[in-house]
Amino acid sequence: MRSATTSILLLLPQTLHCLVAPRVVWFTGHRDLRVHDQGGLSGAAAAGGPVIPLFVLDPKVHLRGQDRPSLLRLHTALSSLESELLTKCGTPLVVRHGDSPSVLKALVSECGAAACHAIEDDVVTERRAAQQAALSACGAEVHRWSDGLRPEVPVPVPATFPEYCAAIEDLAVMAPAAGPGMLPAFESPLASDGVPSLDELLRMAAEATPRAVREARAGACATSEPYAACTAAWCAHGAARAALDEYVAIGRDAFADAHLGDAVEGAWEGGEAPSLHAAAAQWLVAGTLPLGIGFGVGSGLGSGSGSGYG
């Protein structure tokens, strides 16, 4: 009798989670593509039912107007998130393509979710509008979470940054939360489009971006940013934490010397600058322009343009 009772008690937690409605954790792509210190995962896990991690690849939010470095960062972050959810939480990432309101509402209806957990609104207007529209139409209870360093901020917000620093100096800093551990999965596998390859993201972004923007970016208005490969690598959460640990251990100057000495990362070995932005960053680092880099009259920085730069 005691043996049977023990067996029932051991199985009880696994049985109870099937009786609790699932919860969707919506990864918006705004400072939330991680497992560690992720308030949505922690909140959903605390409810005890199945947890469904979701990322909606919304062309208007994630693809339209995005260049290769931005898409490389997104791909790195999503690939890292997908891997960590499987290895650390035992649950797959559901990836679906489309506009956020329609996709989120359809998934909530499909799985009968009781709630949706999402990070607080992005400060970017377009993303804020997409988040609010999706959550208001999803048909489930909405829980928002904050990734702020402090539980409260001074109100009204000081007018200058030095005044702000002085006002928050004595405010408590929130400790990062641990990962949720293994999560109970939804009973039936949900369809997922999977994390697209970088080539797929580039193709989808080109389709979502106006032709005039693509042509300008390929010509004189190229905006390729400095340190593109370095920053993309740090979008994997484990790599970002390792970089932060290194920064704390060796200090700002040594970290910069180790990682930020080449702003263009050898991109113009053939003598072609990817953009004025990257060239300017390399100029600041090295004190001189990279070899083979010249600014024509069309850029507004060439000799004869009246800018004073030779």
Domain that holds residue 248: 228-299
Q: At which residue do the structure tokens 């960062």 appear?
A: 73
Joined tokens for residue 289: 């322009």
In-domain check, residue 307: no
Bridge partners, residue 24, by sequence: 52, 116
**Domain edge (last residue) among 218, 246, 264:** 218
pLDDT (0 to 100) of residue 201:
98
Is 50 exceeded by the pLDDT of residue 10?
no
Residue 97 host element (H or E): strand 94-97
How many domains does the chain fold into?
Answer: 2
What tens digit of pLDDT does each residue of 185-218 get?
888 889 999 999 999 999 999 999 999 988 888 7
CATH code: domain of residue 143: 3.40.50.620
Please check whether residue 135 lies inside any domain of the structure.
yes
Cα–Cα separations (whole angstroms), residue 108 to 20, 113, 134, 148, 182:
15, 5, 11, 27, 22
Q: What is the mean pLDDT of residues 93-97?
A: 98
Residue 281 pLDDT level (bands cut at 50, 70, 90): confident
Domain co-membership, 214 together with 266: no
Round the CA-based radius of gyration of the chain to a whole number and report it: 24
Q: Are residues 213 and 234 in the same domain?
A: no
DSSP secondary structure string for all residues of 143-201: EEE---SSS---SSPPSSHHHHHHHHTTS--PPPPPP--S-PPPSSPPP---PPPHHHH
Predicted structure pTM score: 0.84
- Domain stops at, among 218, 245, 263: 218
Does 239 have pLDDT greater than 50? yes
Residue 9 lies in a domain: no
- For residues 113 and 25, the answer to whether their CB atoms sit within 8 Å is no
Residues 214 and 151 grouped into a single domain: yes
Tell whether the model's pLDDT for residue 3 goes beyond 70.
no
SS3 291: coil
Share of the chain above pLDDT 90, in %: 58
Tokens 């999706």 found at: 134
* Confidence band, pLDDT 50/70/90 cuts, at residue 291: low
Shared domain for 94 and 234, answered yes or no, is no
Please check whether residues 293 and 149 belong to one and the same domain: no
Q: What is the pLDDT of residue 238?
A: 92
Task: With cut-offs at 50, 70 and 90, classify the pLDDT of residue 308.
Answer: very low
Between helix 100-111 and helix 125-137 the angle, nearest 10°, is 30
Give the confidence band of 151 by pLDDT, cuts at 50, 70, 90: confident
The mean pLDDT of the chain is 85
pLDDT at 48 (0 to 100): 92
Amino acid, single-letter form, for residue 85: L
Helix, coil or strand: residue 55: strand
Asked if the model's pLDDT at residue 9 lies above 80, the reply is no
Of 172, 199, 218, the domain-final residue: 218
